[in-house]
Amino acid sequence: MPQKGPPNPDLPTARSGRQALAVAQEAAAVAQGLILKGLAGGKGVRSKGRGNVVTDVDLACERAIVELLQGEFPSHGLLCEEEHRREGEFTWIVDPIDGTRNYASGVPHCSTSIALAHGADIVLGLVHDPLRGETFHALKGQGAFLNGRRLSVSSVEGLAAALVGVDLGYKDARGAQALAIVAALWPVEGVRVMGSSVLGQAYVAAGRLDLYFHHSLYPWDLAAGILLVREAGGIATDRDGQEAAPARESLVVANPALHRRFMERVGRMPWRG
């Protein structure tokens, strides 16, 4: 999984002397080992709310990632989904398993997301699919890559030809509104409910999906993905067309022409319950 690239002067150097990307790749590899081991059983699934679960593997992955990051970057902040929060000039934003409901149910579609922010600026994003062995990464200003191959968003400009990704979230009203948006778009080439918003964004960066949208996300669902899309030549905004950011919960990602057509069709529809 580790991939070499030119040093980025905007990124901090780890205590070991390694680049930040190499440390993020190691952290994802450590999580991968725990995720694969958990497939055999004993995940310890618990509910955090309707449709929202956490497993013992989520917690173990987060702790392992945090231990590595803190050892290499002791002054950095942390913003993790499950347990760890700390402020710093640089902040690691971590989702140990995005797609936990899939993972807990044995659906082989989940990911680990690791991003690094300098203030409000995302400078590194990594999304690792532990089951397919795929690593998507982006460094600000250096492009987006999948296992070392440069990525580009699709060139599909019309909604009728678009493969659209979406997720429904945990609240019934918001899920119903997302389905209403799908109905307003129809007919399209196809619709995929992903179960991992981070992989949905990575797939747009890779040109596998033409567009992805979601109405209710958290910072760890957004940080790595929006950098991937932008570095692959795409547009990432919130539902109002403002630049997407970890602090904004809604998201639309696509190439510029398709994004514009999506916003023209559904931009004024309600997204919140």
Higher-confidence position of 234 and 88:
234
Q: How many CB atoms lie within 10 A of CB 29?
A: 16
* Residue 182 and residue 135 in one domain: no
pLDDT digits (tens, 9 = 90+) for 66-95: 999 999 999 999 998 877 778 888 999 999
Which CATH number characterizes residue 26's domain?
A: 3.30.540.10
Q: Is 11 part of any domain?
A: no
pLDDT band at 51 (very low <50, low <70, confident <90, very high): low
* Residue 173 and residue 116 in one domain: no
Give the separation between CA 222 and CA 244, rounded to whole angstroms. Answer: 8
* Residue 198 and residue 101 in one domain: no
| Position 5 pLDDT exceeds 80 | no
Mean pLDDT, the chain, whole residue set: 90
Average pLDDT over residues 250-271: 90
Maximum mean pLDDT: which of 71-75, 105-109, 237-241: 71-75
Range scoring the smallest mean pLDDT among 30-39, 142-151, 263-272: 263-272
* Residue 75 and residue 174 in one domain: no
Q: Where are the alpha helices (DSSP H) in the chain?
A: 20-38, 56-72, 100-105, 172-185, 197-205, 219-231, 256-266
Higher-confidence position of 8 and 259:
259
Range(s) of the domain holding residue 182:
159-266
* Residue 111 and residue 57 in one domain: yes
* Residue 29 and residue 107 in one domain: yes
Average pLDDT over residues 111-136: 96
Which letter does DSSP use for residue 255 in this model?
-
Domains contained in the chain, number: 2
Maximum mean pLDDT: which of 19-33, 36-50, 97-111: 19-33
Collapsing DSSP states into helix, strand and coil, what is residue 104?
helix
Residue-level pLDDT at 216:
87
* Residue 260 and residue 204 in one domain: yes
| Position 181 pLDDT exceeds 70 | yes
Q: Which of 150, 168, 198 is the last residue of a domain?
A: 150
